[in-house]
Amino acid sequence: MQQAGRQPIPSVWTRPRRRREPLTRERIVAEAVQLLDAEGIEALSMRGLGNRLNAGATSLYRHVANRDELIELVVDEVYGELRIPAAGDETEWRAAAVDAAHSLRAMALRHPWVASVLGQVGLSHLGPNAMRMADQLLALFETAGFPSHETDRAMSTLVSYVIGMATSEAAYLSMIARSGSTEREWVESLRPALEEATREHPRLAEGHAAQRDKDPAKVRDESFDYGLQCTLDGLTARLAHNRSA
């Protein structure tokens, strides 16, 4: 029984679900994800979503209390796309971590709005997909040999790197999409201004010249993998330190 005067935790995951109705939570979330992918986070409102579903906002409120709860639900929905491989033993953990990191990055780039709301989702970690992802990542680092008090920190290190990189990439790709150009076209159109801007900065000019004929998507992939390998090098060194201590 709830103690007098204590307010319930404001999260969609702490309230009982309503009995099945024609307008279901699953349908609401699926439509919200489509709206976000097409138009971005600024377009998400309870009224607008209700219009897309041919239902009034009042009907939505029977399933979702407010926009914040809706964001909790859509974030957990896209977490369901992740694939976190298991590591059979401690020799396989790094390859599994690479696959997990690429799966997380791919999800964030498919849904460029998600990175911008991760800091706003309150108790989204209570969602079933987020819980599954966290549990599988913890199991991976446990198999690697991290002690129990470090598995969560190792997981956070990997996830923070991926989300940080994906946030920048998603913003960059969204800007290009709004221009109506392909990534290659956008890079080519920017080149004259970039060459002029780096004329007095030879190190920058040399770096940009080295990327001139490369596929920009491949450049992004290589940059992501470089940082990922450096992150995993650090975690591998930490494992070695623990074993020698």
Q: pLDDT band for position 119 (50/70/90)?
A: low
Measured from the Cβ of residue 34, the count of other Cβ atoms closer than 10 Å reads 11
The answer to whether the CB of 104 falls within 8 A of the CB of 163 is: yes
What are 136-172's pLDDT values in tens digits? 999 999 999 999 999 999 999 999 999 999 999 999 9
pLDDT at 56 over 80: no
What are 70-100's pLDDT values in tens digits? 999 999 999 999 999 998 888 999 999 999 9
Q: Which of 41, 175, 179 is nearest to 116 (CA)?
A: 41
Q: Give the range among 113-117, 122-126, 229-233, 234-238 with minimum mean pLDDT.
A: 122-126
Give the predicted TM-score (pTM) of the model. Answer: 0.85
Q: pLDDT band for position 14 (50/70/90)?
A: confident
pLDDT at 20 over 70: no
Which of 57, 79, 101 corresponds to the end of one domain?
79
Q: What is the mean pLDDT of residues 91-114?
A: 95
Q: Do 33 and 117 have their domain in common? A: no
Identify the pLDDT of residue 18.
58
Dihedral-angle region of residue 54 (phi above 0 means left; psi in -120 to 50 means alpha; beta otherwise): left
Q: Do 150 and 238 have their domain in common? A: yes
- CA gap 199, 102 in Å, rounded: 36
Q: Do 69 and 139 have their domain in common? A: no
Range of the domain at 55: 12-79
Domain count, the chain: 2
What are 171-216's pLDDT values in tens digits? 999 899 889 999 999 999 999 999 999 999 999 989 888 888 899 9
Q: Which of 77, 68, 79 is nearest to 31 (CA)?
A: 77
The answer to whether the CB of 162 falls within 8 A of the CB of 118 is: no
Identify the pLDDT of residue 11.
77
Q: pLDDT band for position 8 (50/70/90)?
A: low
Q: Do 62 and 136 have their domain in common? A: no
Q: Which residues contact 79 (CB under 8 A, 6 or more apart)?
A: 107, 127, 129, 130, 132, 133
Q: Do 31 and 67 have their domain in common? A: yes
Q: Which residues contact 179 (CB under 8 A, 6 or more apart)?
A: 186
